[in-house]
Structure 1
């Protein structure tokens, strides 16, 4: 279950941002997950709740997951297509000369702080 390791990494990143910005409590984190990242949302959410309950900064913080669709680019015809639906073979020209251009990433989009309207954003 690599989801727990990912959660620990996210929490460490949030702790760094919190320290840099004098934040003492986090109410939520928005995470962008690629459609083919290999991360299981349910496991990630379970690990999130477990790990946050053990961390004063993160206790009770909500996790919001936004899925980034997987898109593949075809070198042969120069077109893009949905990866999950068509795999590695281009549905437009039949070429296998393709590569993933998005959909396997894991990024923290926002860190929400209680009683504040603003979110710290990591780019």
Structure 2
């Protein structure tokens, strides 16, 4: 379960940002999660709830997860299409000359201090 490791990593980043900005309490963290990142949002949320209880700075801080749709670009016909729905082969021209342009990232979007 790598979601627990990701939750701990996010907590470390938030702690670093809080220290740099003299923040004493965090109530909410927003995360952008690519739909093909390999992270299961429900599992990450469960790990987050467990992990933040151990941190005074973030005790009971909410984790908001926004999905980033996976998109693929076709070099042959220059179309962009939804990756999950169509896979690696372009639905417009049938080409395999494609690559993922978004949807595998994990971005820390916002930290709400109180």
Identify unmatched segments of 5+ residues in structure 1. Answer: 115-123
RCO greater where, 1 or 2, for CA within 8 Å and sep 6 or more?
2
SS in 1 for 2:26: coil
Report the structure, 1 or 2, having the larger helix content: 2
Q: What's 1:121 paired with? A: none
Deviation, 1:48, is: 0.1
TM-score normalised over the length of structure 1: 0.91
Show structure 1 runs of 4+ deviating over 3 A: none
TM-score normalised by the chain length of structure 2:
0.98
- Aligned match of 1:65: 65
Deviation at 1:41, TM superposition (A): 1.0
Q: Distance in 2 between matches of 1:80 and 1:3?
A: 29
Query: Aligned-pair RMSD on alpha carbons?
Result: 0.5
Deviation at residue 37 of structure 1 after TM alignment: 0.7
Question: Is residue 2:43 matched to residue 1:43?
Answer: yes
Q: Name the CA distance, whole Å, in 2 between partners of 1:93 and 1:41.
A: 33
